Structure 1
Amino acid sequence: MKKSDRRLALVNYLTDNPFATDEQLAERFGVSVPTIRLDRAVLQIPEARERIRRVAAGQHDSVRALAQEEVLGEITELQLDRYAVSILEVQPAHAFRRTSIVRGHVLFGQLNSLAVAVTNADVALTAKTELRFHRSVSVGETVVGRVDVVARRFGVTKCRTVSTCDSEVVVDGTIWVVQATEAYAQR
């Protein structure tokens, strides 16, 4: 593929997949990571983290039930009482040292914090979870978590959850979140 064709294809691909890393782009286009970085520099396309931040800045409501930095991963989309999406770039601190496999509570934490964040309440707490882990995740992978509100009743929000890596489901299930009063939450 010619350089000009590759750069045009890169722009088109990133329009549909703004969270793709340089490594994923290099593999997709059959070139080295430095070549992708040079192409991005010439085209003035920021690195993946900055692209995530830009998408996130324009596509979500404000989190109410917890501080933004308490959400595990980077929120890219949030519509209170509807859905939320976050991206977690797996680092060595998220995994067991010996195997480089991500700890289960990290994957749970991403989905759980999203379920609390999507709840339109000042205080929200996890009431119940039912999750299935389908495959392990390794350091260097990017996990996309999505939570959709499927029901609300008597102050309880039921959320359908799914985490994927490269479009493959790694965790899915249901999380119920209860809206609590400030007094109840401080007990």
Structure 2
Amino acid sequence: MKRNKKDRQRLLIETIKGNPFVTDEELAEKFSVSVQTIRLDRLELSIPELRERIKNVAEKKFSDEIRALPLDEVIGEVIDINLDENAISILDITKEHVFKRNGIARGHHLFAQANSLAVAVINDELALTAKATILFTRSVKENERVVAKAKVAEIDHAHDRTIVEVSSYVDKELVFKGEFEMFRS
């Protein structure tokens, strides 16, 4: 159903407020207009693009919650966190993350995303990686989005240790898996 511009823009604002993670493509489909029309509407309404909206939501929601390191030191963008339970971050692989000759992401970026998420999920002022066991299951290429999911598997207060398992995916395919033994104060 076609709407006039004013109605569409009002509904666009409501939709993005309800789900700041909605893509321009999803909005275009919802309102039966082109992606370019959605981008022009967002520009006119001063609504930032998806990446900026995700960052803004994360900063508002998690900046007071994360204790072990500043939010801006987490590699990738934290989109959900429950301290000492679980966390999720996303990392869009760009030209700066890949080898020039083959477009494959350098492994240290995937490790850094997982490791910093393992630190961030710890509910303590101090969290350091004591040991990590990692496995890369497939290469990640430029323009792919890596979603890292951290889960606290065990908290050993007697030894000041926490085990955090992190699995990273592109779409639904596992690309990295790590178990991080974290020291906490």
Per the shorter chain, which TM-score range? 0.7 to 0.9
> Which residue number corresponds to residue 66 of structure 1?
69
| TM-score, structure 1 as length reference | 0.74
Counterpart selection for 1:161 from 166, 171, 177: 166
Q: Is the 8 A contact 2:20 2:53 kept in 1?
A: no
Judged with a 3 Å threshold, the aligned counterparts in structure 2 of structure 1 residues 109 and 159 are, in CA distance, closer, same or farther, namely same
Judged with a 3 Å threshold, the aligned counterparts in structure 2 of structure 1 residues 97 and 110 are, in CA distance, closer, same or farther, namely same
Judged with a 3 Å threshold, the aligned counterparts in structure 2 of structure 1 residues 80 and 15 are, in CA distance, closer, same or farther, namely same
Counterpart selection for 1:81 from 77, 80, 84: 84
Q: Structure 1 counterpart of 2:147, which letter? A: V
The root-mean-square deviation of aligned C-alpha atoms, in Å, is 3.2
Shift, 1:175, TM fit? 1.3
Matches for 1:3-82 after TM superposition, within 5 Å:
18=21, 20=23, 22=24, 25=25, 34-38=36-40, 40-41=42-43, 46-60=48-62, 61-82=64-85
In 1: Cα distance, 2:132 partner to 2:40 partner: 45
In 2: Cα distance, 1:113 partner to 1:152 partner: 18
Q: Is the 8 A contact 1:19 1:52 kept in 2?
A: no
Judged with a 3 Å threshold, the aligned counterparts in structure 2 of structure 1 residues 149 and 94 are, in CA distance, closer, same or farther, namely same
Matches for 1:168-183 after TM superposition, within 5 Å:
168-180=173-185
Q: Is the 8 A contact 1:19 1:51 kept in 2?
A: no
Moved beyond 4 Å, runs of 4+: 11-17, 39-45
Judged with a 3 Å threshold, the aligned counterparts in structure 2 of structure 1 residues 14 and 171 are, in CA distance, closer, same or farther, namely farther
Q: Structure 2 counterpart of 1:164, which letter? A: Y
Q: Which runs of 5+ in 2 are unaligned?
A: none
Shift, 1:34, TM fit? 3.0
> Which residue number corresponds to residue 100 of structure 1?
103
Q: Is the 8 A contact 1:102 1:139 kept in 2?
A: yes
Shift, 1:156, TM fit? 0.7
1:74-131 Cα offsets, whole Å, 9 max, x none, are 1222222111211112121111111111101100100000101111222211112222
Q: Is the 8 A contact 2:20 2:54 kept in 1?
A: no
Percent identity between matched residues is 44
Matches for 1:117-156 after TM superposition, within 5 Å:
117-153=120-156, 154-156=159-161
| TM-score, structure 2 as length reference | 0.75
Q: Is the 8 A contact 2:87 2:151 kept in 1?
A: yes
Q: Is the 8 A contact 1:59 1:78 kept in 2?
A: no
Q: Is the 8 A contact 2:161 2:183 kept in 1?
A: yes
